[in-house]
Amino acid sequence: MEELELIKRAISGDKDALVRVITLRKEEYYRLAYVYMKNSHDAMDVLEDVIVILYENINKLKKVESFSSWSKTILVNCCKKQLKKKERLVLKETVEGKQEREDIDRVTEEVVINRALEKLKPKHSEVIKLRYFMDMEYKCIARVLRIPEGTVKSRLAIGMRKLKEILGGDYK
């Protein structure tokens, strides 16, 4: 069955249709959650929360065509909320324990990139992650973050320039 028809049925109260739509998009949702959460366990925890929110609020969706950006916005907001909770816990850790973990983490290129992204302003790292890790189009990023497309492009350009400076590369 076509996805738009499933979404219409879900809005009308067919929870099985919503489950089918979520199942069709599970890899996409997981990748987006993983980009923010940086590990599988936390990504799965966030996805569980998102499924409940979608289930409870699908009837509030006005346009069937907006399901993708609407559901991704909910996912991004859940990730941000969970990261804020984690941030508070990390502050309680000792500096010594944190330094040991950072030394171990430097082994992989992914961690180096993530560390560099963390040095950027959140608004810049966020658009970089959505564009290059999730391969999202500018328009989609604009809808998910609820900002103009021009702002997405500007943040991306600034973020990439600063990222290359942090990593020691030239930006042109």
Closest by CA position to 79, among listed 39, 118, 19:
39
Q: CATH 1.10.10.10 spans which residues of the chain? A: 94-172
Element (H, E) at 112: helix 109-119
CATH 1.10.1740.10 residue window(s) in the chain: 1-92
CB count within 10 Å of CB 37 equals: 20
Report the alpha-carbon distance of residue 61 to residue 8 in Å, rounded: 10
Sign of the CA dihedral 20, 43, 53, 137?
Answer: negative
Classified by CATH at the fold level, domain 94-172 comes out as Arc Repressor Mutant, subunit A (1.10.10)
Q: What is the mean pLDDT of each run of 10 residues along the chain (172 residues)?
A: 89 92 94 93 94 93 93 94 78 57 60 84 93 91 95 95 83 46
Please give the model's pTM, rounded to 2 decimal places.
0.63
What fold is seen in the domain 1-92?
Rna Polymerase Sigma Factor; Chain: A (1.10.1740)
Rounded CA-CA distance 87/5 in Å is: 40
